[in-house]
Amino acid sequence: MAAGIINPVTGKRYVKSWRFDSLYPFARALYLQMEAHWKVKVWHDQTILRILQTPGEVNDWTVRMAAGDYAELLDILDGDSSWDPFLATPGTIGIIRKAARVDFPMIMASLREDLVADGHFIDQEFSPGQMEAIAATYDRVIYCEGFRGAANPYFPDLGWQLAKGEAMVIRLEHPSAGMLQDMLKKTLLIAPLGDNRFWVGGSYNWTFEDNGATPEEQQYLEERLRAMIGVPYSVEQRMGAVRPTVKDRRPLIGRSPVDPRFYLFNGLGTKGALLAPYWAAHLTDHLLEAKALDPEVDIVRFGN
Q: Is 291 in the site for ligand FAD (CB under 6 A)?
A: no
Q: Outline where 180-263 has alpha helix (H).
A: 215-228
Q: Is 91 in the site for ligand FAD (CB under 6 A)?
A: no
Among 50, 190, 266, 279, binds ligand FAD (CB under 6 A): 266
Q: Which stretch binds ligand FAD (CB under 6 A): 58-66, 169-177, 263-271, 289-297?
A: 263-271
Among 69, 80, 118, 125, binds ligand FAD (CB under 6 A): 125
Q: Which residue from 241, 249, 267, 250 is spatially nearest to 155, judged by alpha carbons?
A: 267
Question: What one-character-per-residue DSSP string does 86-102 give?
Answer: GBSS--EEEEE-S-EEE
Among 27, 95, 264, 273, binds ligand FAD (CB under 6 A): 273
Please say which residue, 8 or 272, places its beta carbon nearer to ligand FAD. Answer: 272
Rounded to 5 degrees, what angle do the CA atoms 9, 13, 15 make? Answer: 35
**Residue 191 three-state SS:** strand
**Alpha-carbon span 150 to 162, nearest angstrom:** 8
Q: Which amino acid is it at 120? A: H
Please say which residue, 145 or 298, places its beta carbon nearer to ligand FAD. Answer: 145
Q: Outline where the chain has alpha helix (H).
A: 20-38, 55-66, 104-117, 128-137, 215-228, 272-289
**Alpha-carbon span 94 to 227, nearest angstrom:** 18
Please say which residue, 73 or 270, places its beta carbon nearer to ligand FAD. Answer: 270
Query: Residue 250: how many CB atoms within 10 A of its CB?
Result: 22
CA end-to-end span of the chain, whole Å? 32
Q: Is 255 in the site for ligand FAD (CB under 6 A)?
A: no
Among 186, 264, 270, 293, binds ligand FAD (CB under 6 A): 270
For residues 167-186, which are near ligand FAD according to CB under 6 A? 167
Cα–Cα distance list, 31 to 18, 42, 52, 134, 246 (Å): 20, 7, 31, 30, 25
- In the shown chain, the binding pattern of residues 34 to 73 toward ligand FAD, with x for contact by CB under 6 A and - for none, equals ----------------------------------------
Q: Which stretch binds ligand FAD (CB under 6 A): 46-54, 69-77, 144-152, 278-286?
A: 144-152
**Alpha-carbon span 170 to 36, nearest angstrom:** 30
Q: Is 192 in the site for ligand FAD (CB under 6 A)?
A: no
**Residue 68 three-state SS:** helix
Q: Which stretch binds ligand FAD (CB under 6 A): 20-28, 138-146, 218-226, 283-291?
A: 138-146
Q: Is 27 in the site for ligand FAD (CB under 6 A)?
A: no
Residue 280 beta carbon to ligand FAD: minimum distance, rounded to whole angstroms? 10
Task: List all residues 6 or more positions away from 228 whose beta carbon is below 8 Å from its beta carbon.
Answer: 51, 87, 88, 184, 186, 187, 188, 190
Q: Is 3 in the site for ligand FAD (CB under 6 A)?
A: yes
Q: Is 244 in the site for ligand FAD (CB under 6 A)?
A: yes
Q: Is 148 in the site for ligand FAD (CB under 6 A)?
A: yes
Among 37, 41, 113, 126, binds ligand FAD (CB under 6 A): 126
Q: Which residues bind ligand FAD (CB under 6 A)?
A: 1-5, 125-126, 144-146, 148, 165, 167, 201-202, 241, 243-244, 266, 268-274
